[in-house]
Amino acid sequence: MPILASILAYDLGASSGRALLGRLTDRKIETEELHRFPNDPVQVGDRLHWDILRLYHELKQGLLKAKHQGVQVQSLGIDSWAVDFGFIGANGELLGNPYHYRDRHTDGAMERLFAELPPEEVFGRTGIQFLPFNSIFQLYALKQANHPLLREANRFLMIPDLLRYFLTGEMKSEFTNATTTQLYNPALGGWDTELLAKLGLPASWFGPIVQPGTQVGALRRSLTEELGIDAIPVFAVAEHDTGSAVAAVPALDRSFAYLSCGTWSLIGTEVERPVIHDEARALNFTNEGGVDGTYRLLKNIMGLWILNETRRAWERAGKSYAFPELVKLAGGAPAFAAFIDPDDEAFLHPGDMPGQIRRYCERTRQRPPEEPGAVVRCILESLAMKYRYILELTERLSGQSFNGLHMVGGGIQNTLLCQWSANAIGKPVWAGPAEGSAIGNLVVQWIAQGELSDIWEARSVIRDSFPVTVYEPEAWEAWDDAYGRFLRATGLQGT
């Protein structure tokens, strides 16, 4: 008989997923990893897809593991990456496998759309930064290609919405993820139907939007009968994983800066109202939905994807390196030898990442790094420098001054990156918790159930439950001098 009462967070990243159990006892959060699984994209011909049915299968495996361990799951929620989606047909079935945001079908779509709709109008309506894989550009590319999916589509669902639909049979869109589509208008508080009409997209595809903490059904009967479990309540949490990660930032002050560090690096701050004006558009900042009606003023940085793809390229060439080995090699390589702008388009797609780094350095008249340690050092130092650049812009746009940077997410396990980030910004870095998205997922469920009063009590409990490592800046003068060289090498403008 089940004896352990817990809630369940499914946290799906771009390379792996996990099911995390959470228990709240005496204002302390206890977590247990129940199930972990890979999330590998699948190349079919020229197209790159997500294996969405495999992900759904893994959600079911998590429920079975809970059952077999005698865990009584009181509720569950799902968070994942943003922008990607699937279509449901009139018969309620999934139409095709969702495209991966790194698929090339969106190449040139942003520029073609802007020939019809000025970027000033799109940003003014949505407040979302321009990234070539945003949902708006994916949909535009599909429409331009006269894709047969569009003729049969009945509903548009983001990845967590889609998986939640598989679980419950309920089709609802969640706020934090809906904002990332660049089709949500914060002034209207919903889908921008006028923008949809200009794009030729039926408003009927886009269903009701619910806030994080809304219960959206329970496990459907066919699933409970298949697995032999109860009808567990399912909550819409902050389903964009960055929204969940920011909910888990253990900040003491209402004014704080965060870095969600993983495949992507996302730097920003929490604001009550979106910052939508010409300067924010010129700097390509974004305003994504947060918990409790807040917005996340932030900017995406390519992140540890560059390191991960570099390592994969070496593996394909028959040279395997463990991440700790690469970090050690980077620590021993010469400092500040070369820099890249992590957000250069050369680093967006899969492929020969060491070759792309070499070509970038040649193009910017720098000596390319050759040895693995030098390549990794170039990546990590460049990320730390870009963090400083975006942090200073965040201060300017938000009108705030931050006394340090909160880092959350799996990237904080790279202690060298944490230390170099502190060195680059010249301020402390507070690193933790590592499982930020999953923990944010859990606390939104507890808030919805009345176990925690609000997000600030949740952050206090998180601070008391998980260790935070403090990195004080070192060698500030050398890093400050190198920052000027980073700006010159990358062509970025100082703040």
Tens digits of residue pLDDT in 143-166:
999 999 999 999 999 999 999 999
What pLDDT score does 230 carry?
96
Residues 391 and 337 in one domain: yes
Q: What is the CATH number of the domain that holds 251?
A: 3.30.420.40
Q: Say how far apart CA 275 and CA 393 lie, in whole Å.
A: 13
Tens digits of residue pLDDT in 218-245:
999 999 999 999 999 999 999 999 999 9
The structure tokens 């309620």 sit at: 92
Residues 220 and 78 in one domain: yes
Residues 6+ apart with CB under 8 A from 215: 75, 233, 234, 235, 236, 448
Please choose, from the candidates 493, 82, 118, the residue with its C-alpha nearest in 3D space to the C-alpha of residue 286.
Answer: 82
Instruction: Tell whether the model's pLDDT for residue 2 goes beyond 50.
Output: no
The answer to whether 8 and 445 are in contact (CB under 8 A) is: no
Confidence of residue 493 (pLDDT cuts 50, 70, 90): confident
Pairing of strands 153-158, 85-89: antiparallel
- The burial of 90, by beta-carbon neighbours within 10 Å (0-12 exposed, 13-18 middle, 19 or more buried), is given as exposed
Residues 134 and 277 in one domain: no
Does residue 447 form part of some domain? no
Confidence of residue 3 (pLDDT cuts 50, 70, 90): very low
pTM: 0.94
Helix boundaries (H) for 403-475: 415-425, 436-448, 455-465
Q: Say how far apart CA 305 and CA 350 lie, in whole Å.
A: 9
Q: Say how far apart CA 197 and CA 29 lie, in whole Å.
A: 46
Does residue 463 form part of some domain? no
Confidence of residue 5 (pLDDT cuts 50, 70, 90): confident
Does residue 450 form part of some domain? no
Cα dihedral value 353, 356, 362, 363, nearest 10 = -150
Please choose, from the candidates 388, 399, 389, the residue with its C-alpha nearest in 3D space to the C-alpha of residue 473.
Answer: 388
Residues 194 and 253 in one domain: no
Q: Say how far apart CA 412 and CA 249 lie, in whole Å.
A: 13
Does residue 399 form part of some domain? yes
String of DSSP letters for 266-279: EEEEEESS---SHH
Tell which of 216, 236, 256 closes a domain: 236
How many structural domains compose the chain? 2
Q: Catalytic residue positions?
A: 241
Q: Say how far apart CA 404 and CA 256 lie, in whole Å.
A: 8
Q: Residue 476 sits in which domain range?
A: 242-432+468-495
Does residue 101 form part of some domain? yes
Does residue 449 form part of some domain? no
Instruction: Tell whether the model's pLDDT for residue 11 goes beyond 90.
Output: yes
Residues 227 and 304 in one domain: no
Tell which of 196, 217, 236 closes a domain: 236
The structure tokens 């508080």 sit at: 189
Residues 372 and 490 in one domain: yes
What pLDDT score does 364 carry?
97
Using a pLDDT cut of 90, give the percent of the chain over it: 97
Give the chain's mean pLDDT. Answer: 96
